[in-house]
Amino acid sequence: MDKFTELRAKYDTFVYESFSFDSEGFSFLFRTGEYEFRPVWKWRGLPDTPLTRYIVFSIGMVELVSYWKCACPPRVLVKCGALNEEQIRWWKKLYFGGLGEFFYRNGITTDFDSFMSIECDNSDVPRFTDIRSERSGAVIPVGGGKDSIVTLELLSGMRDSSYCFLINPRETTLGCAHTAGFPDERIIAPRRSIDPELLRRNADGWLNGHTPFSAIVAFSAYLAAVVSGARYIALSNESSANEGNVSGSDVNHQYSKSTAFERDFREYCAKWLIAVPEYFSLLRPWTEWRITGEFVKHPKYFPVFKSCNLGSKNDAWCGKCAKCLYVYIMLAGYLDDETLHGIFGKDMLADGTLTDMFDALMFPDLDKPFECVGTREEVNTALAAAVKLREGRKLPVLLERYAQSEHAAPSDISGYFDNDNFVPDELLGLLKC
C-alpha cells in the first residue's frame, strides 16, 4: 500500500475547527485524527468587522491545504465560517490545481472528484458592502525579487497613497521597500508562523510538498487593501507564469500566479467579498525578458534584491539552485560579468556542476525546474543576448554549451504583449510606453 492510500485510510477526515481573532492577529485550529495544527498570524490593529472576519476565515481556507496535504484525508469538514456549493467547487479547483506539483512529485494518481470532498456546517454566506466612500493607491506585495521591484518603480507615481506588503519581513524585502522610497509607516508586514506539529509530521514520514502559497498572498494582501483603503492590489506575476513544468501535463509550480487563478480570485472577491479593492498583476502583459530589461535600469537595487528560496533565510544567493541560475541567465543578457559577480558573488555560468539545471532551463524536452522561472523561449533569448554581449571573448562553460548546442534559434519576443490581463485601463499606459 502506498503512503497516500495508507494515510488516507487511517486519517479519513480533516477538520477546519475554528479561527480566532483579536488585537494581536488571528490563528486557526485544524484537526486530523489525534493531531492538531494551530498556525498563527501576528497582525496588529486589524478592525474586527464581519468582512475582516470572513477574509480571515478565507485565509484559513488557504492555510488548510498545507496541513491537509500531510495525510490527504478524503473528507474535509469546515465547522466554522460559511460556504455554499459554488464556493466549495471554487476551493476544490484551487486545491487541485495548486497541488499539481505535490501530486506529481509524490507519485500520487488522483482526480478532481475523488481527491477531496468538502462539507461545511453553514451555507448561509453573508453579503458585504464597503464602508469606505473612496479608495486610492495600491497594496504592492514585495517578495524581494526583480519583478516586484519593477512594479514598485512603475507605480512610483502612486507611492504616497500606496503600501508595500511583506509577509514575514526580512532584510531583503524591507531593503527593497525602503530603496523604493517607502517609509515604515507605509509598510504592512504581518508575521505568519507554521505550526511545528506539521514539521514533526513531515519528519515522521508523512507526505510533504509544494502548495499554492501565492493564494495566501492573494487573500492576505486583499485583507491589507480592505483595511488600508487601497484601491488596487498590484501583483508582479508575468505572462510566463502560465507555463507548466512537465511536458504534456497541467502541472504548474506557479499555478496560483497564473492568469487562471487571477481570474478566479477576482471573480471570488466580486461575488463573495467586495469588488474593490481590485486584484491584478501589473506585469502580466510582459515577458520575463522585458521585465529584466526594465529592472536593469534601476541599479540601486542590485545590492539589495534576492530571489533565492534556499538562501532566503540568510538574505543571500545560494549560487547552487535553479532559481539563482535562472536569474543569473536573464541578467547576463543585459549586464557585464563584473556587475553579475558583484551581485551573485560568483560566475554561475562558469560552474559546470550546474549543467543539469542549465539544460532543464534551456531544453523543452526536459521537465522545467520546479521554481518560479520563465519560459524556454525567454531563457534562450537571454542566452543568445549574453553570447552576443561577450562576443570576441572566451565564454564560460555553460554559455559555451549553449553556443555549441542545437538549441532552437530564439525568436523575437521584444514586442510581445499578453492582452489576456486585468491591468486597469488607467495603468496600461505604464506598460505600453
Does some domain include residue 409?
no
- Domain, as residue range, for 267: 3-126+190-281
pLDDT at 122: 95
Does some domain include residue 197?
yes
pLDDT-derived band at 290 (thresholds 50, 70, 90) equals very high
Q: How many CB atoms lie within 10 A of CB 117?
A: 13
Are both 210 and 320 inside the same structural domain?
A: no
Are both 260 and 322 inside the same structural domain?
A: no
34 Cβ partners below 8 Å, 6+ apart? none
Pairing of the two strands 75-78 and 187-188: unpaired
**Residue scoring higher pLDDT (241 or 200):** 200
Are both 256 and 325 inside the same structural domain?
A: no
Are both 78 and 11 inside the same structural domain?
A: yes
Pairing of the two strands 187-188 and 163-165: parallel
- Cβ atoms 187, 164 nearer than 8 A: yes
DSSP state of 164: E
Place of cell 525602503: 178
- Rounded-to-integer distance, Cα 72 and Cα 115, Å: 8
- Cβ atoms 416, 287 nearer than 8 A: yes
Are both 329 and 400 inside the same structural domain?
A: yes
Does some domain include residue 200?
yes
DSSP string of 240-297, one letter each residue? GGGS-SSTTS---TTGGGSHHHHHHHHHHHHHHS-S-SEEEETTTTS-HHHHHHHHTT
Does some domain include residue 410?
no
Question: Once rounded to an integer, what is the mean pLDDT over residues 15-22?
Answer: 97
- How many domains is the chain partitioned into structurally? 2
Are both 119 and 252 inside the same structural domain?
A: yes
Question: Once rounded to an integer, what is the mean pLDDT over residues 221-247?
Answer: 91
pLDDT at 410 over 80: no
- HSE, CB side, 13 Å, CA atoms: give it for residue 213: 12
Are both 121 and 225 inside the same structural domain?
A: yes
Q: The whole model's pTM is what?
A: 0.96
- Rounded-to-integer distance, Cα 14 and Cα 12, Å: 7
Does some domain include residue 13?
yes
Which of 281, 296, 327 is at the close of a domain?
Answer: 281
pLDDT at 408: 57
pLDDT at 409: 61
Are both 207 and 60 inside the same structural domain?
A: yes
- Cβ atoms 34, 17 nearer than 8 A: no
pLDDT at 320: 93
Does some domain include residue 203?
yes
Condensed to tens digits (0 to 9), the pLDDT of residues 334-373 reads: 999 999 999 999 999 999 999 999 999 988 888 888 888 8
- Rounded-to-integer distance, Cα 26 and Cα 20, Å: 5
Residue whose C-alpha is closest to residue 192's, from 381, 62, 307: 62
pLDDT-derived band at 392 (thresholds 50, 70, 90) equals confident
Are both 274 and 359 inside the same structural domain?
A: no
- Rounded-to-integer distance, Cα 221 and Cα 139, Å: 7
pLDDT-derived band at 433 (thresholds 50, 70, 90) equals low
Phi, psi values for residue 228, rounded to 5°: -80, -15
Condensed to tens digits (0 to 9), the pLDDT of residues 166-213 reads: 999 999 999 999 999 999 999 999 999 999 999 999 999 999 999 999
Q: Strand ranges (DSSP E) for 85-207?
A: 117-120, 138-141, 163-165, 187-188, 191-193
Does some domain include residue 136?
no
pLDDT at 133: 80
- Cβ atoms 76, 36 nearer than 8 A: no
pLDDT at 131 over 90: no
**Residue scoring higher pLDDT (256 or 133):** 256
Does some domain include residue 159?
no
Condensed to tens digits (0 to 9), the pLDDT of residues 32-43 reads: 999 999 999 999
Place of cell 492555510: 63
> For helices 322-332 and 376-389, what crossing angle results, to 10°?
50
Which of 265, 281, 297 is at the close of a domain?
Answer: 281
Q: How many CB atoms lie within 10 A of CB 392?
A: 4
pLDDT at 411: 73
Are both 204 and 76 inside the same structural domain?
A: yes
pLDDT at 220 over 80: yes
Are both 228 and 360 inside the same structural domain?
A: no
Are both 276 and 315 inside the same structural domain?
A: no
